[in-house]
Amino acid sequence: MPGVLSHSLFSNFDIHLFRSGKHYRLYEKLGSHPMKVDGVEGTYFAVWAPSANAVYVVGDFNHWQQDHKLNVRWDGSGIWEGFIPGTGKGTLYKYKIHSNNDGMVTEKADPFARSCEHPPRTASVVWEGDYTWKDEDWMETRETKNGLDCPHSVYEVHLGSWKRKSDNSFMTYKELADDLVNYVKEMNFTHVEFMPIMEYPYDPSWGYQLTGYFAPTSRFGSPEDFKLLVDKLHQNGIGVILDWVPSHFPEDAHGLGMFDGSHLFEHPDKRRGYHPDWKSLIFNYGRNEVRAFLISNALFWLDQFHADALRVDAVASMLYLDYSREEGEWEPNIYGNNENLEAISFVRELNEAVYLNFNGVQMIAEESTSFSMVSRPVSIGGLGFGMKWMMGWMNDTLEYFKNDPIHRRHHQNDITFSMTYTFTENFMLPFSHDEVVYGKQSLLYRMPGDEWQRFANLRLLYGYMFTHPGAKLLFMGAEFGQSSEWNFQASLDWHLLQYDVHSGIQKLVKDLNTLYRNHPALYEKQFTDEGFQWIDYGDHENSVLTFIRKGVNKKDDLIIACNFTPILRLNYRVGIEKTGKLKEIFNTDDQKYGGSGSTNNKALKVESIPWHGNKKSMELDIPPLGVVILK
């Protein structure tokens, strides 16, 4: 066919690694790569399509006609490749694949495309980026800011609805590199987590149904524009976490499903290859080339876009064969149980590859079951993640707060139960987007009582969250008490900040972030029981909790008292081991946060009165629906 020259980026060793599932840099080989061959400018194309008997590159350069047929490699790898002169950055293209499976013909976007057309258009775009990073200081020192003994206060963001322009159009990556970065820095969050920014066709999926795994969505600009956003965050000392979805993908005609007329990426057995809840396809984790595709994709975002962490979506759906399935809709593994052994093996290999290849990064599991050792090393039988979302804490806490305070004395065990398992994993405490959609209401309106009590409860919730062991995550809008549910089609309700009660919540979260970052007792040992000690968890009649958070140095210890009722607890006695005086360093009831101002303004004297099993004690006032922190 005219215009296709023989050329290859693959060595025999590359092919060996690919077929064995160990090639973790496939994005350097597969896909479209502008280059010069024998002095001629053009693009090298390579695609994996083992069930094809012909693969054509069709695009705007050949009027979408079958004029450029790729060459199949001789080695049985199923890779088709070739060099097409006269194409380059900006060329639109797809692969037209003639299958040897009943003559099926598919027209597919490139799984490795670095850029895609703006949805609803579906073509891939040849791309060659030119970006000079300026985040050397962050990259060289991020191990000291992104480790498990560092503060992680994460601001979860959906780029399409954080803030929009006056005509309701999207802000661009470049605009967000100013507005969003300045805001996150002002609010003292340590990290931003972006809901999926990989290309996706359908806005209501929020990005969790991907078709362009290697392309930042074109909704907000170019790949280099997204690099600028990451770069600016790093230059301001803010880490970047990307949501990543290896659990499923949509059935869109241009996507990965039935790619070459066969079940190439998805498992061929519908019991393992189709997700009934999301009506999407599930990757075949037992196929070596698919594992290499996914691990290469994870490494791609860490390598090419300097991501500091990946939050892996829907891990539970990967681990269990019977996830969201009725009896008869799934088949047990070879041992007769419900664990997906191939997926478990893949997850372990993924995490090992990430931590081996990059320093100072984290892998975070959104995993909602009691699967053991999710955040423990593979070497001791764990899945190898760095952290896991603490879904149980989130559910139990919101259920507890839903109770009218007068009834909370009957539910003390619900609010203390998390401490029985907090240190079994490295937990992140999430109030994510999932908690403010589908009729659940905003966090503010999940709080009981009149307006004052709603806001006081929200301040109490955040104070309790930031003093509870574990990393923290808040979805955008929660930091100023957004009153309505999240709407992905519109901006957050920024106008609420004109009201003192909402600006007070915002000040509270900003100061809690500062407190968390500045007090080692809240983060140095946040994943070990050495960093926590109950003083008293049994005062259910008053619905009061008292405990100690501990750092490496005893002088950093903090004493926390939480009052889950609207009754001011005057002269409440707390047993402690310390001598001398204690000072209140934080109070969620401070008037600047919209509280009633029930604070402990004077130093608190420790007395030789035994209490709570300690030889000494002191008295303090615990504000209504408030948290007091002493040092």
- Number of other residues whose CB lies within 10 A of the CB of residue 217: 25
pLDDT in tens, 522-581: 999 999 999 999 999 999 999 999 999 999 999 999 999 999 999 999 999 999 988 888
Residue 1 has a pLDDT of 45
Q: Tens of pLDDT along 209-252?
A: 999 999 999 999 999 999 999 999 999 999 999 999 999 999 99
Where the chain has pLDDT below 70, the residues are: 1-2
Interior angle at CA 269, CA 268 and CA 273, nearest 5: 75
With beta carbons less than 8 A apart as the criterion, state whether 619 and 591 touch.
Answer: no
CB count within 10 Å of CB 134 equals: 12
Distances (CA, A) of 496 to 162, 176, 378, 422, 431: 14, 21, 47, 35, 20
Report the distance separating Cα 340 and Cα 346, nearest Å.
10
In CATH terms, the fold of domain 12-125 is Immunoglobulin-like (2.60.40)
263-298 residues labelled b (16+ CB within 10 A) or e (exposed): bbbbbeeeebbbbeebebbbbbbbbebbbbbbbbbb
Q: Do domains 196-236+244-389 and 529-630 have the same CATH topology?
A: no
529-630 is classed in which CATH architecture? Sandwich (2.60)
Place of tokens 């399935």: 325
Residues acting as catalytic residues: 313, 366
Q: How many CA atoms lie within 13 A of 101 on its CB side?
A: 15
What's phi and psi for 224, nearest 5 deg?
-70, -30
Residue 411 vs residues 20, 327, 524: alpha-carbon distances, Å = 54, 35, 30
Where are the chain's structural domains?
12-125, 196-236+244-389, 529-630
Helix 391-402 and helix 451-467, axial crossing angle in degrees, nearest 10 = 150
What confidence score (pLDDT) does residue 580 get?
84
pTM over 0.95: yes
The architecture in CATH of the region 196-236+244-389 reads Alpha-Beta Barrel (3.20)
Q: Which residues contact 140 (CB under 8 A, 6 or more apart)?
A: none
Please name which of 281, 277, 286 lies closest in space to residue 340, comparing C-alpha atoms.
286
